[in-house]
Amino acid sequence: MQQMKSIPKKQLPPKEERHKLFGSVPPIEKTKPIEKNKMADLQNTKKDFLFKLDAVGVSNVKYPVLIYSDLAPKEQTSIGTFEFSSSIPTMSKGTNMSRFMELLQEYSSNRMNISISELKRFTKELSGKLEQNDATIEVAFPWFYERKGPESQSTGMNHADAKLSITYDKDSGYSLKVSLSAWITTLCPCSKEISEYSAHNQRGNVTLEATLIEDFDEDNIDWKLALLEAAESNASARLHPVLKRTDEKMVTEQAYENPRFVEDMVRLIAADLYEMPFVSKFHVSCRNEESIHMHDAIASITYDKSSE
Ligand SMILES: Nc1nc2c(ncn2[C@@H]2O[C@H](COP(=O)(O)OP(=O)(O)OP(=O)(O)O)[C@@H](O)[C@H]2O)c(=O)[nH]1
């Protein structure tokens, strides 16, 4: 096919003239210093600024990250959404915002992986770089895992929303929090009980938030998988990307054999988290997108093992 030549019909002014046409003006004569050591450093002003701050930093920072998983794909790249902060004392006006991003770039250029050991190292280094007593990093990312149809073994990819939050404090050490939000199937026990046949079922969203013990052994336990298994193994059925007819029959019957209210879901997941020795506190919530209502059904539970 002959290529059409595009011949401009208008005679446009040069680019610089076009910018002027749309309001660009030449720079004025500048009077303020351009050398860094002569510039005002407002954020480093030391005075009584009335209150100390719990947290100051940057949020909604998106960076590519590397994730390791016990499920295939065992290594994957994802997009991390970061939040970094530290406290600052009463006598300090502000933090040094650029230092959060400088350290992230430094880690990223060495293929930053979202592991607990890496983020522990990061927060400790960050608190030193900021010259503060503590630092927190929070990173949320979609985690992908392979899922096979139960009978055909046809493979596809599911994902869950994972989050890891680590605080380093010079006096109290590290605190580790993880969270996973995943989808499951629930089949209504009441509907099954009262109906001659069938039962309504829905897609439920489960969020598990757990505080881990400080010496959590990430080399032997994948926390993402532990939380996913707690959510899915207690549901009426799991979600699958690929289902052949033989699989669909199994999943449908499995859901009918394992009916769950939204309350049942959070209590059963709580029981699994209670039995995990590396979890010290947890919060579980479930939201069922009801298929017979326009509204959702919700339930949640919070538990602190140290309060026993
Ligand atoms: N503290 C603070 N800085 C802000 C804020 N918004 C923008 N910034 C800017 O972040 C920029 C970089 O700050 P710094 O990290 O202190 O830059 P710097 O002093 O050149 O960095 P260092 O040499 O590491 O001390 C400054 O120009 C601030 O004005 C804010 O809300 N608080």
pLDDT in tens, 5-28: 788 889 999 999 999 999 999 999
Q: What is the mean pLDDT of residues 117-136?
A: 97
pTM for the model stands at: 0.92
Where does the pLDDT of residue 308 fall: very low under 50, low under 70, confident under 90, or very high at 90 and above?
A: confident
User: Are 227 and 246 in contact, with CB atoms under 8 Å apart?
Assistant: no
Least confident range of 9-13, 99-103, 206-210: 9-13
Band (pLDDT 50/70/90 cuts) for residue 155 is very high
The pLDDT value recorded for residue 4 is 66
Collect all residues with Cβ–Cβ distance below 8 Å to 290 and sequence separation of at least 6.
200, 202, 296, 297
Listing DSSP states for 84-102 in one string gives EEEEE-TTB----HHHHHH
Distance (angstroms) between ligand 1 centre and the Cα of 29 equals: 25
Q: With 60 as the cut, is the pLDDT of residue 1 above it?
A: no
Ligand 1 pocket, CB under 6 A: 41, 43, 94-99
Q: Whose CA is nearest to atom 5 of ligand 1?
A: 97
130 CA distance to ligand 1 middle (Å) = 11
pLDDT at 222 over 90: yes
**Contact, 67 vs 75, CB < 8 A?**
yes
Tokens of 168: 């380093």
Ligand 1 centre distance from Cα of residue 30 (Å): 21
How confident is the model at residue 7, as a pLDDT? 82
Specify the pLDDT at position 5.
76
ipTM over 0.90: yes
Choose which residue among 35, 96, 125 to substitute to test ligand 1 binding: the one with the highest number of ligand atoms within 8 A of its C-beta. Answer: 96
pLDDT of residue 149: 97
Rounded CA-CA distance 57/40 in Å is: 20
The position carrying tokens 């590397």 is 66
User: Mean pLDDT throughout 198-221?
Assistant: 96
CA 109 to chain centre: 21
Q: How far lies 84's CA from each of 68, 138, 175, in Å?
A: 22, 6, 15
Residue 79 Cα to ligand 1 middle (Å):
25
pLDDT at 16: 96
Which residue minimizes the CA distance to atom 29 of ligand 1?
43
227, 237, 278 from 178: Cα distances, Å: 9, 24, 12
**Beta strands at 155-169 and 296-304: parallel, antiparallel or unpaired:** unpaired
